Structure formats: C-alpha cells, structure tokens
C-alpha cells in the first residue's frame, strides 16, 4: 500500500530533527516514529500509485467508449428522423 522507503525516509527526517543530546535514543525513536506513522497511515483510506494509475486508465477507456456510443446514438437518431 505505502512505499516502505518513503516511510523510512520520513521517520529518519523526524529522527534527525531530534536534538544531539537525545541522539543516543535516535534508533529507538526512529523505530517508534515509524511504527506510529505506519499505524496512523494505515487508518487512512489510501490507494497505491499503481492502483491509482490502473484505475485512471480504466476511466479513460470508459470515457472513450461512452463518447463513441453517444456518437453512434446521435447518428442513429439523426438517421431515424
């Protein structure tokens, strides 16, 4: 669902912002931040980029088919009049 590398990067950035005196606990803090981020992000209704791209392509094809059908119906209706 979510890119683990991106989560690690965010957790590392937050950990890097911790003052130098607290750096001894940075590894543990980074791990905890990562856990909290994963827990909070998992509560969100998100889709992966791959799934989003696939659904975008499906929508484009559906719109193309709809436009083709509308053109056919218009042609049939104008021929029937």
Query: Residue 19 phi/psi, 5° resolution?
Result: -55, 155
pLDDT category, 68, cuts 50, 70, 90? very high
Q: How many residues does the chain have?
A: 81
Condensed to tens digits (0 to 9), the pLDDT of residues 3-59 reads 778 888 888 888 778 777 766 776 777 788 888 888 888 888 888 899 999 999 999
Q: What is the pLDDT of residue 67?
A: 97
Q: What is the 3-state secondary structure (H, E, C) of 40-53?
A: HHHHCCCCCHHHHH
């Amino acid at each position: 669902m979510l890119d683990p590398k991106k989560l690690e990067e965010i957790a590392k950035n937050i950990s890097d912002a911790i003052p130098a005196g607290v750096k001894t606990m940075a590894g543990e803090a980074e791990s905890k931040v990562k856990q909290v981020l994963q827990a909070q992000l998992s509560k969100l209704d998100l889709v992966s980029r791959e799934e989003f791209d696939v659904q975008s392509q499906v929508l484009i094809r559906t719109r193309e088919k709809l436009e083709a059908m509308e053109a056919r119906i218009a042609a049939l209706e104008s021929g029937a009049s």
